[in-house]
């Protein structure tokens, strides 16, 4: 997913608003969750969001998302944003986040989702790390 940073997306420093970044991440992650679950999904939580570098007015935001882990009714989606200057071609890693989505049935109740079958080394690494984060989230909810 690509998005051009326009003047109304920026603050007085010319950097993209953090809230705009969060909105775009939620949309991008939701698309991956929809495609995996093949049913409606809702955002349950944002586990972690790190702003690593500013994106400026005129930059092209490049958003990539992947389903890292799927449990019974929930999925962890990882999102990465890079900002590319269309003039220099320089690309900077701008933000990373992990979002949890829950699939919803026609009665607005949680619904089961397909399991993930990681195949590549990178997919297996993301799966194991996401599984560990899932267990931490689950433990924290029980406190």
Tokens representing residue 115 in the block: 């399991």
Phi, psi of 52 (to 5 degrees): -105, -30
Class of the 2-142 domain? alpha beta
Domain ranges of the chain: 2-142
Q: Are 8 and 16 in contact (CB under 8 A)?
A: no
Averaged pLDDT, 136-143: 80
Question: For residues 68 and 136, which has the higher predicted lDDT (pLDDT)?
Answer: 68
Give the model's pLDDT for residue 138.
83
CA dist., res. 18 & res. 96, Å (int): 12
* Spatial separation of the C-alpha atoms in residues 43 and 21, rounded to whole Å: 15
3-state helix, strand, coil split of the chain in percent (to 5) is 30, 40, 30
- Residue 130: per-residue pLDDT: 92
Q: What is the pLDDT of residues 78-126, one digit of tens each?
A: 999 999 999 999 999 999 999 999 999 999 999 999 999 999 999 999 9
pLDDT at residue number 48: 82
* Phi, psi for 31 (deg, rounded to 5): -60, -40
pLDDT tens across 34-91, in order? 999 999 999 999 988 999 999 999 999 999 999 999 999 999 999 999 999 999 999 9
CA distance 1 to 77: 15
Mean of the per-residue pLDDT values of the chain: 95
* Residue 141: predicted pLDDT: 76
State pTM to two decimals. 0.91
* Cα–Cα distance for residue pair 86/103, rounded to 1 Å: 37
Percent of the chain at pLDDT > 90 equals 91
pLDDT at residue 143, as a whole number: 73
Residue 10, pLDDT above cutoff 80: yes
């Amino acid at each position: 997913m690509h998005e051009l940073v326009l003047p109304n997306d920026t603050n007085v420093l010319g950097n993209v608003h953090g809230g705009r970044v969060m909105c775009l991440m939620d949309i991008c992650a939701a698309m991956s969750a929809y495609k995996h679950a093949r049913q409606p999904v809702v955002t349950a939580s944002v586990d972690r969001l790190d702003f690593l570098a500013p994106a400026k007015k005129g930059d092209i935001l490049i958003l990539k998302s992947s389903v890292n882990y799927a449990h019974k009714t929930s999925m962890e989606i990882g999102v990465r944003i890079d900002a590319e200057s269309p003039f220099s071609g320089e690309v900077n890693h701008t933000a990373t986040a992990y979002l949890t989505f829950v699939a919803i049935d026609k009665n607005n109740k949680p619904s089961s989702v397909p399991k993930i079958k990681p195949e590549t080394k990178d997919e297996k690494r993301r799966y194991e790390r996401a599984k560990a984060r899932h267990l931490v989230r689950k433990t924290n909810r029980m406190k």
